[in-house]
Amino acid sequence: MSVQQAYNTWAATYNTDTNATRDLDGQITRTLLAGQHYHSILELGVGTGKNTSFFAQIGDRVVSVDFSSEMIKQASAKSYGKTPLFILADLTNDWPCAESSVNLVTCNLILEHIADLDGFFVKAHAALAMGGQFFISELHPFKQYQGKKAVYQHQGEKHEILAFVHHVSDFVKAGEGAGFTLRHLGEWWDEADRQTPPRLISFLFEKR
So what's the pLDDT on residue 80? 87
Tell me which residue range forms the domain holding 162: 3-190
**Is position 151 within any domain?**
yes
| CATH number of the CATH domain containing 55 | 3.40.50.150
**Is position 155 within any domain?**
yes
Mean pLDDT of the chain: 95
Q: What pLDDT, in 10s, does the model give residues 113-132?
A: 999 999 999 999 999 999 99
**pLDDT of 178 over the 90 cut:** yes
**Is position 67 within any domain?**
yes
**Is position 88 within any domain?**
yes
**pLDDT of 193 over the 90 cut:** no
Q: What pLDDT, in 10s, does the model give residues 51-93?
A: 999 999 999 999 999 999 999 999 999 988 778 999 999 999 9
**Is position 207 within any domain?**
no
Number of domain units in the chain: 1
Closest CA to 28 of 192, 206, 195, 190: 190
**Amino acid (one-letter) located at 126:** A
**Is position 100 within any domain?**
yes
Residues 109-132 as b/e (b if ≥16 CB within 10 A, e otherwise) read: bbbbbbeebeebbebbbbbbeeeb
195 phi, psi to nearest 5 deg: -90, -5
